[in-house]
Amino acid sequence: MSLSAPTCIGASVSRIDGPAKVTGAAKYAAEYVAPDLAHGYVVTSRIAKGRIRRIDVSRARRVAGVIDVLTHDNRPQMAAQDDAYRDDVAPEGAPFRPLYNNRILFSGQPIALVLAEDPEAARFAATLLGVDYDEEPHVTDFLGQRDAAVAAPKGAFGPPPARGSVEAALEAAPVRHDADYYVPAETHNPMELYATTAIWDADGRLTVYDKTQGVQNAHTYLCGVFGLKPEDLRVMSPYMGGGFGSGLRPQYQVVLAVLAAKALRRPARVVLTRAQMFELGYRPAMIQRISLGADADGTLRAIAHDAVTMTSRYEDFYRQETGWSGLLYACANASYAHRLARLDLPTPCDMRAPSAASGVYALECAMDELAVALNMDPIALRLKNYSERDQHSGDPYSSKNLRACYEQGAEAFGWAGRAPEPRAMRDGEELIGWGMATGVWEALQMSIGVRIVLSANGHAEVSCATSDIGTGTYTIMAQVAADMLGLPLQDISIRLGDSTLPRSPVEGGSWIAASVANGIAATADAIRADVLRLAQGLPHAPLAGAGPDDVELAEGCVVSRADPSRRTPIADALRHARLERIEREHLTEFAAPKLAHNTHSAVFAEVRIDEDLGLIRVTRVLSAVAAGRILNAKTARSQIMGGVVWGVGMALHEETLIDPAFGRIMNANIADYHVPVNADIHNIEVIFVDEPDAEINRLGVKGLGEIGIVGVAAAIANAVYHATGTRVRDLPITLDKLRR
């Protein structure tokens, strides 16, 4: 234990990368320049399925400034085996290969790259390509394929085993609720466009500035696709303007930029348009049926969750969409089914809280409907079925303070003042509704490498190949290092987003904060032992005889825990040994946890609905979160607020619309793809309940990247029902659905 309480961990520290971002010093993938930079513009397929018969590039080539047009006919060599294209987070299947052959797998697929001296020439020339196709019939109509869907393969994300006897329990249950819920496909719209700049260095090695959530994942992938030696390639992504899961897998622009650099032997840049970003992946649409059976007192007797999600023809993407249902509440009987509709679309990908955002939406709406059927308060129903154990494994939790989320959330929201009947609360023309829902996500941690270089001048550089996708990773890394090394925050510098740095998984799954924080702590232990050894080399060493666990690093010194007056300045210890710096690199691995581990939330929403027009305003959202130790109160709050805003979008606005006739996204722009704007967002309040966790990891950190969105759409949908008495089960809840 620490003699001086850590001062940085937990504090409301502003982002240390903030000044670089607001001054423009932080460079993004499309902002790196090099002499002779070639600019690429992507041409995409207008058909959803078939083959390219011919691409006529003659007119495009005649445009002044055009250097070349790459297609499957003339591109440089690429690997011929699927394995070469598989990345760390690839689902089962045969990954898409950009510009590989004449086969068209989806509308919006890249089919050519026009390369020019400036982006304008490339973009203009791209309009002059003549493409002839042999078109084949396609199927993109998800709802029409519900019955044709095939069972999801039993991979890592297969539904958990059923327990008990669901059919019999549903039959016997005095109160029952069965309904279908629908979540449409949704598209990530991070501010930064996907882009890659590939630059050759003097000795023929390639540096690739890529927008990615995993520089080492992109590195391995590119080495596979292009047969590069690992040391001949460096992938950099020091800043990222949002990813939300769309950058977990290498996206096609990175392949195109490297193809261009190889073909031209020049540096090359490819920037996608907003419309092109709609073809990179999406949250799969999901039809789900939930059946709940309960006793009259609210005791859950059965949960059945049956889902159909969409995937591509070439990969089977799915997550544990149905598994959350049987996890969350105590219930002896649970069953799950998951089928996939394979469509002529690009493969879906992870989007913030993949599977939970969709699956828990349905469960939490169904719980609200059950509470209505039982004439029971929705929180009381959840408390009645509160589970102290993971319902799949039966294991107790390392920590679970969801109860405090319900209690503190309800108190702060004023839930006790809710009139239970629908349409019972109004303010003039507006109906007022209050709804709530539970959120749940995972608390994962992954092996991670950290290097610390501690200088005699009292500065430390901490590095790891993780990304910071905008979540605040730079800042929490510096905070943890400051406390563990006993240095002020401003004396810590962070390097990340570089494939040459110590090993990191992709930044996703909400696992980086816990992983890297504990990785820094473990690496700092090694530094502390080094400093102690050096300090003990001083004449009349005050710390003679002390072991590494008897001391800590604080106030720029190595200090005895038992007697803080016994101390040696770090600078003295290093200088005496004639060392300018000491350096340690350590790979921290996490044992498989013996205990169940999740984060939880209770979300409360207030809506005000114009009774005549059906216009919905979400005037208040309160999210009470239990996620272990909070590393930074400010960035943590921002994470949850961002998730809540997205939850408002999921509830009311977002829907990727696919025209079945053309197999093409109809609203591939952010004018027609609606997301919440400032005017849609009102009061958002975030509470972090106390959740000490001595088991999950040394620092008790669980991660916050995704829990913020889970449950929000359900809380809003439940509030809309409470306001109006109308239950809309298919998202988004638009006014036409409310008024029909």
Enumerate binding residues for ligand MOS (CB under 6 A).
213, 243-245, 248, 350-352, 354, 508-509
| Closer residue to ligand MOS (CB): 243 or 433 | 243
Q: Is 216 helix (H, G, I), strand (E, B) or coil?
A: helix
Nearest distance in Å: CB 84, ligand MOS: 24
Nearest distance in Å: CB 188, ligand MOS: 9
24: number of Cβ within 10 Å: 9
Q: Are the CB atoms for 607 and 427 separated by under 8 Å?
A: no
| Closer residue to ligand MOS (CB): 50 or 250 | 250
Active site residue 192: no
| Closer residue to ligand MOS (CB): 40 or 643 | 643
Question: If you ran DSSP here, which 8-state letter would residue 528 be given?
Answer: H
Nearest distance in Å: CB 349, ligand MOS: 8
| Closer residue to ligand MOS (CB): 127 or 447 | 447
Cα separation, 346 vs 725, in Å, equals 38
What's the token pair of residue 665? 């996204």
Q: What is the 3-state secondary structure (H, E, C) of 333-360?
A: EEEEEEEEEECCCCCCCCCCCCCHHHHH
CA angle 397, 643, 351 (to 5 degrees): 85
Cα 372–chain centre separation: 33
| Closer residue to ligand MOS (CB): 108 or 703 | 703
Q: Where are the beta strands (DSSP E) in 30-129?
A: 38-44, 50-56, 66-70, 92-93, 103-104, 110-116
Cα separation, 407 vs 392, in Å, equals 25
Strand 38-44 to 268-271 pairing: parallel
- The alpha helices in 464-607, defined as continuous H runs, are 473-485, 512-535, 570-576
Cα separation, 666 vs 669, in Å, equals 9
| Closer residue to ligand MOS (CB): 238 or 245 | 245
396: number of Cβ within 10 Å: 14
Residue whose pair of structure tokens reads 């086969």 in the numeric block: 103
Q: Is 255 helix (H, G, I), strand (E, B) or coil?
A: helix
Cα separation, 538 vs 551, in Å, equals 16
| Closer residue to ligand MOS (CB): 60 or 90 | 90
Strand 150-151 to 333-342 pairing: antiparallel
Please name the amino acid found at residue 528: R
Active-site option among 315, 442, 691, 706: 706
User: What backbone torsions phi and psi does residue 251 show, to the nearest 5 degrees?
Assistant: -95, 165
Q: At what angle do helices 252-264 and 215-226 cross, to 10 degrees?
A: 50
Nearest distance in Å: CB 509, ligand MOS: 4
| Closer residue to ligand MOS (CB): 45 or 311 | 311
Sorted by sequence, the CB contacts under 8 Å of residue 432 that are 6+ apart come out as: 425, 426, 606, 607, 608, 609, 723
99: number of Cβ within 10 Å: 22
Nearest distance in Å: CB 465, ligand MOS: 16
Cα separation, 531 vs 544, in Å, equals 13
Cα separation, 168 vs 301, in Å, equals 10
| Closer residue to ligand MOS (CB): 133 or 646 | 646
| Closer residue to ligand MOS (CB): 188 or 338 | 188
What's the token pair of residue 639? 């994470």
What's the token pair of residue 460? 């430390």
| Closer residue to ligand MOS (CB): 623 or 639 | 639
What's the token pair of residue 270? 């490819």
Residues in the chain: 740
Question: If you ran DSSP here, which 8-state letter would residue 365 be given?
Answer: H
Q: Is 225 helix (H, G, I), strand (E, B) or coil?
A: helix
| Residue 50 falls in which region: left (phi positive, over 0), alpha (psi -120 to 50) or beta | left
What's the token pair of residue 277? 């970003």
Please name the amino acid found at residue 341: A
Catalytically active residues are 706
